[in-house]
Amino acid sequence: MKLKEIFKEVPDFRVKGRTDHILSEILVISLCGVLSGAEDFEEIAEYGRQKEKFLKQFLDLPNGIPSHDTFNRVFRYLNKKSFESCLLNWSKEIIEELEHYQVNIDGKVLRATGKRGKKTAALCLVSAWVSEHCLSLGQSKVAKKSNEKTAIPDLIKSLDVKGAIISIDAMGCHSKIAELIRENKADYLLALKKNQKGIYEEVHDWMIGRKADFEMDTQVDYVGGRIEKRTTYVCEDLRFIDELSDWTDCERLVMVECERTFKNEPEKTSTATRFYVSSKKEGAAYFGLCTRNHWSIENQLHWYLDVVFHEDLQRVQMDNAPENMSTLRKMALQLLLKHKNKDSLKKIRKRAAWNEQFLVKVLKSII
């Protein structure tokens, strides 16, 4: 099984000759367990014991199933960058021949990893997500007493994003980040926020006052009993925006006006206006799609991790274990999404737990 070969690239930190279990097999059991509903080390070990006969079809298991303490110890001291590279290499194989894909970058706090009374103690990970293909490209830990802005450059440097467009919310809207993205031969689409007073106010006044002169595209969606109308405006002439003078290769200003109306309560219409800067020379329809796709990192990656994998309830805190478990959940998520079709992900995960043939099919989908 190629899965074992992928995990064999992870260096074994343990003392040679003093181990009872093969590292790659520990990782395969862990992935199978998480795919099948296990959420902590005790559940992974119990899954292994219950499915030992099945696992022996493709694993050697020279000393049976490891204990939950062994799983815990392995994930605590496993090199997190090497383990994450398994996910990255797998994703790179899938998108290797694709051009002009969109990489969404956003942060997520693993709430249960924090300590009571300390608001900033919980682990925060910044992730890169390819919206068109539901692929996770990597993650970077936000240092304590810092914020997402410091982790974003490290994540971008670790990725091969040539030819992609990188979208980031207002936390990453900084000229230095834009410059870094261009140095890596990618384009940027960065959201502006009101606390960025100079550039936000100048772009706001310029776009609002002249929107009738700009290229426009309108999209209307009917989802879940609500009607969403999004109108995208694009400005190509940036000569009079002084605050953009330090922005590398900035080519477009984008304004998106959103209007949401509930079918049964038409009087409760809400509106919002968002502004973006971009290095991409494209029109309103293109940027309308990109700004919409950016939210897939929240609506798909983060939502699935919380609702299906219960990530916000996981209390693993020691050493490298929180980040390694986060990588393992993303591996499981990518595998399950490839077989989702029209079923819910929760149902697909239970199918993997109940149907061994389906689980083998899921595992074989690793390229």
Q: Do 190 and 267 share a domain, yes or no?
A: yes
Q: Do 119 and 20 share a domain, yes or no?
A: no
Decide if 309 is inside a domain.
no
pTM value is 0.86
Q: Do 264 and 297 share a domain, yes or no?
A: yes
Q: Of the residues 278, 304, 330, which one is the last residue of a structural domain? A: 304
Q: Do 207 and 99 share a domain, yes or no?
A: yes
Which pLDDT belongs to residue 354?
Answer: 94
Which pLDDT belongs to residue 194?
Answer: 81
Torsion of CA 272, 275, 281, 284, to 10 degrees: 20
| Class of residue 232 by CB neighbours under 10 A (exposed 0-12, middle 13-18, buried 19+) | buried
Identity of residue 27: L
Decide if 107 is inside a domain.
yes
Q: Of the residues 282, 304, 326, which one is the last residue of a structural domain? A: 304
Q: Of the residues 304, 337, 353, which one is the last residue of a structural domain? A: 304
Sheet of strand 135-141: strand arrangement? 135-141, 123-130, 102-110, 165-168, 187-191, 265-278, 252-262, 226-235, 215-223
Q: Do 248 and 155 share a domain, yes or no?
A: yes
Per-residue tens of pLDDT for the chain, all 367 residues: 566 677 877 888 888 888 889 999 999 999 999 999 999 999 999 999 999 999 998 889 999 999 999 999 999 999 988 888 887 777 766 666 555 788 999 888 877 776 665 555 677 888 888 877 778 888 877 766 566 777 888 888 888 888 889 999 888 888 899 999 999 999 999 999 887 778 889 999 999 988 889 999 999 888 767 888 899 999 998 888 888 888 999 999 999 999 888 877 766 788 889 999 999 999 999 999 999 988 888 888 888 888 999 888 877 778 888 889 999 999 899 889 888 888 889 999 999 999 999 999 988 876 5
Torsions phi, psi for 268 (to 5 deg):
-95, 55
Q: Do 67 and 107 share a domain, yes or no?
A: no
253 close to 238: Cβ distance less than 8 angstroms = yes
Q: Do 203 and 70 share a domain, yes or no?
A: no
Farthest-apart Cα atoms in the chain, separation: 73
Domain, as residue range, for 227 = 84-304
Decide if 312 is inside a domain.
no
Decide if 34 is inside a domain.
yes
Q: Do 267 and 332 share a domain, yes or no?
A: no
Decide if 310 is inside a domain.
no
Q: Do 291 and 230 share a domain, yes or no?
A: yes
Decide if 311 is inside a domain.
no
Residue 148 belongs to domain with CATH number: 3.90.350.10
Decide if 332 is inside a domain.
yes
Which pLDDT belongs to residue 37?
Answer: 92
Which pLDDT belongs to residue 144?
Answer: 61
Q: Do 138 and 262 share a domain, yes or no?
A: yes
Domain count, the chain: 2
Decide if 22 is inside a domain.
yes
Which pLDDT belongs to residue 147?
Answer: 67
Which pLDDT belongs to residue 266?
Answer: 67
52 close to 44: Cβ distance less than 8 angstroms = no
Measured CA to CA, the distance from residue 241 to residue 203 in angstroms comes to 7
Q: Do 117 and 62 share a domain, yes or no?
A: no
For β-strands 187-191 and 165-168, DSSP reports them as parallel
Q: Do 292 and 350 share a domain, yes or no?
A: no
